Amino acid sequence: MPGAQRATDPPTPPGPWHRVFLDDFTGSRLNTADWATCYDWNDGGCTNAGNHELQWYLPGQVSVGNGDLALTADRRTTHGTDGKTYPWTSGMVSTGRDHWDGAPRHTFTYGWFAAAVKVPVAAEGMFPAFWLIPADARGTPPEIDIAEFINSASHVDSNLHWRAPDGSDTHIGNRYGPADFSGGYHVFAVDWQPDSVTWYVDGVQRFKVTEPAAIPHVAMELVINLAVGFQTAPPPGTDSARLDVGWVAVWQR
């Protein structure tokens, strides 16, 4: 990753940072002490029904080897425990719970969150994301989308969601690109502080929000997932896709 931050590097902005979480995936299997393979509403798998996605997440779509976490989406009819049938199955990881009433593995309030990510080449119909969701509410907003790739391997979206006084989901975002995010690992990061949220791509600041009403102040879980079918379905001939993660780290001040 020439010019990109390494897992052992401190965050770009100066300050007394200390690392509180790191997984560089050097083993041969997922460390389940750090990661669940579903959202907090896991019940024999899960999905994000709010986005009308096409996949049912299962742990068999998550693998670790050669210093890499792989989340694989396959076009395979899958029966969810919610009684619905999904045309795809895929993988995700979260620092949250094994089930609704469980305890989260790791939660974070403020900090620098970074991951080295390589997105699928076949981007149409795919929705890889690296993001933060509230631990206590088990739902959003607030929500910090560190990196979203919506049907694109060349543009990354950064978004911040919060709840307006009338209860509606309000958000602000930025799109950066073009760049070849599928050709190798790139480091996506966010610096979440009590008075700001700042996004970085390969160590370069790309977006910042300082509006007080928008900044979250609740403990968050970290999520990385490969969703399918958000906004558009994969085209015929695309039967699989893979999201690769070289490392994930969190620092705090």
Name the pTM for this structure.
Answer: 0.97
Residue 38 has what pLDDT? 98
- Residue 103 Cα distances to 37, 69, 97, 106, 107, angstroms: 14, 23, 5, 9, 10
Question: Consecutive sets of 10 residues in the chain, 253 residues long: mean pLDDT of each?
Answer: 72 92 96 98 96 97 97 98 98 97 97 98 97 92 97 98 92 97 97 98 97 97 98 97 98 96
Residue 52 has what pLDDT? 95
What is the C-alpha separation between 212 and 94, in angstroms, rounded?
Answer: 27
Best CA proximity match to 223, nearest among 145, 163, 150: 145
